[in-house]
Amino acid sequence: MNRRGEHDVVVVGAGVVGAATALALLREGFDVALVEARPAPTWNAADDVDARVVALAPDAVALLDGLGVWKSVTDARACAYSHMRVWDALAAGELSFAAEDRGETALGWIVENRLLQHVLWQALVEAGARGAAIQLRVPGEVTAIENDERGVAATLADGSVVRARLLVAADGATSPIRTQLGIAVREHDYGQRAIVAHVGIERAHESTAWQRFQPGGPLAFLPLVDGRCSIVWSLQGNEAERVLALGDAAFCAELGCALDFRLGNITSTTRRLAFPLRMRLAERYVVGRTLLIGDAGHAVHPLAGQGLNLGLRDVNNLRGQLRRAKARGIDAGAAQVLRRYERERRSENILAASSFTLIERCFNSESIAVAGLRGLALAVADKVTPLKHVLMDAAAGRL
C-alpha cells in the first residue's frame, strides 16, 4: 500500500471468481484488498458433497494450478470425467467425447463450489500471513463508490473507505455495484428452473458426464467421486413445481425414466434444490476505474456447464492485461487497459450466451422435423472427427 493508503486493486466479492482474481493479481505483485459481505467460506471433508458443484474445463484447471491451489482441491475431493455422452429424447443420433481422442486424461473435473471458495480463501490468508500485500475486509459491505481520474474509493457499511487504482466487481449475478454504477442489463428469463440433487445410481457412472435433451429442458448427470451423480434438471415452471413436490421414490422413478435408464434405476436422492434460470448480459463492463467480472457481467444457461469457466477466463484475461500494463509502467486503472479487457471478454461472453440460448431453444422444440434435424446434427458431429475436436476444444477453452 502506498503512502496515501491506496491499493492497486480492490476486489469486491470473494466467491470463486472474486477470490481467484485477488489471488491472481497478488501473485503478479499487485497490492490487493478483498471485500466480502458474508463470512469466510468453510469446507469439511466429513460433510456430504455440497449441493452446488461445477464442471471445470482444462483451461480453468490450468489457471487454478498456476495459482498453486489445484493440488489442494484434488487432495480434498474432485472427480475427473474422461467421457461425455449427449443425446436427444425425440430423435436418433448421439454425440460422444473421449479425452483420449485429444491425448488427454480428462475432459473436465466436477468440484464443489464451496471447496473451491475455501481453498482460494485459505491461499489468500496464508499469503497474508507470509507478508504478501493482501488486505481482507470480511465481512465488509460496499455502500458507495466514487470514481475519478486518480482512483476509486469504496465506502463500507462501517464508514471506512478503501481506495485503489482499480475496483473489480465480482459480486454476482445481481451485482449491487453494477446497479450503483447504473449499468443496464439485457435479461432473458428461460421460464425454467434447474433442479439439483445428488443421486445414487444402479450402474457405475463410468467417469462420464451424461446429458439428454428433452422438450422441457436438458438433464445432466455429472459423476461424483463417491460413485453418485450430481444432477441438473432444467424444467418449465409448472413441471418443475410438480417434480419438486414428488416423494423421493416417485422422483427417483421419474428421473431414471428421464435419463432413459442409461445408469439403471435411481436408488436414492438428497434433498432437492431449485434455481430460476435467466440470462443476464451487462451492456458495459467498465465505468471509470471500476469493471465487472464473472457473473456480475454475464450469467448464462447451465446446459453447457460453462458459467464459472467463462468467469475464470475473465480472470485470466484481466491478469494478462494488468501484467502487461505493469511491465510498461501503465496505471492498472488506465482506460486503455480496461477497455481492452471489456472488448475481448464481452464479445466472447455474448457469443457464448447467445449460443447457449440458441441451443436451448432448438432442443426445446417438439417439432418432429426439428427433432430429426437435431438427431442428424448430433450423428454428423459424432462422425466428423475435425468437427468433434472443434467442439471439444471450445468446451475446454482452447479456442
Q: What are phi and psi of 137, to 5 degrees?
A: -110, 85
CATH class, range 83-105+190-277+365-396: alpha beta
Residue with cell 474445463: 57
Point out the least confidently predicted range of 104-113, 291-300, 359-368: 359-368
Q: What are phi and psi of 68, to 5 degrees?
A: 85, 20
**Edge-to-edge strands of the sheet including 79-81?**
53-56, 108-112, 79-81
Point out the least confidently predicted range of 196-200, 203-207, 258-262, 306-310: 306-310
Please write the tens of the pLDDT for every residue from 294-345: 999 999 877 656 789 999 999 999 999 999 999 999 999 999 999 999 999 9
Using the predicted structure, report yes or no on whether residue 3 has a pLDDT greater than 50: no
Mean of the pLDDT values across residues 361-389?
Answer: 57
Are the CB atoms for 210 and 262 separated by under 8 Å?
yes
Q: What does the DSSP assignment read for 130-158? A: TT-SEEEE-S--EEEEEE-SS-EEEEETT
C-alpha cell at 377: 446434427
Q: What are phi and psi of 367, to 5 degrees?
A: -60, 130
Mean of the pLDDT values across residues 180-202?
Answer: 94
Are the CB atoms for 290 and 169 separated by under 8 Å?
yes
pLDDT at 171: 97
Please write the tens of the pLDDT for every residue from 28-72: 999 999 999 999 889 999 999 999 999 999 999 999 999 999 999
C-alpha cell at 255: 428421473
CA 100 to centroid of chain Cα atoms: 25
Give the Cα separation of 233 and 217 in Å (integer): 7
- Give start-end residues of each CATH 3.30.9.10 domain in the chain: 83-105+190-277+365-396
DSSP state of 302: G
Please write the tens of the pLDDT for every residue from 110-162: 999 999 999 999 999 999 999 999 999 999 999 999 998 889 999 999 999 99
pLDDT at 248: 98
H or E element in which residue 339 lies: helix 335-364
- From residue 250, how far is each of 172, 196, 387, 388 by CA, in Å? 35, 16, 40, 37
Using the predicted structure, report yes or no on whether residue 278 has a pLDDT greater than 80: yes
Q: Give the number of other Cβ atoms within 10 Å of residue 267's Cβ.
A: 13
C-alpha cell at 265: 434405476
- Give start-end residues of each CATH 3.50.50.60 domain in the chain: 6-67+113-186+279-359
Mean pLDDT of the chain: 89
Using the predicted structure, report yes or no on whether residue 79 has a pLDDT greater than 60: yes
User: Sign of the CA dihedral 14, 20, 21, 24?
Assistant: positive
Q: What is the value of pTM for the model shown? A: 0.92
What's the topology of domain 6-67+113-186+279-359? FAD/NAD(P)-binding domain (3.50.50)
Give the Cα separation of 366 and 89 in Å (integer): 10
Using the predicted structure, report yes or no on whether residue 25 has a pLDDT greater than 70: yes
Residue with cell 449499468: 183
| Amino acid at site 54 | V
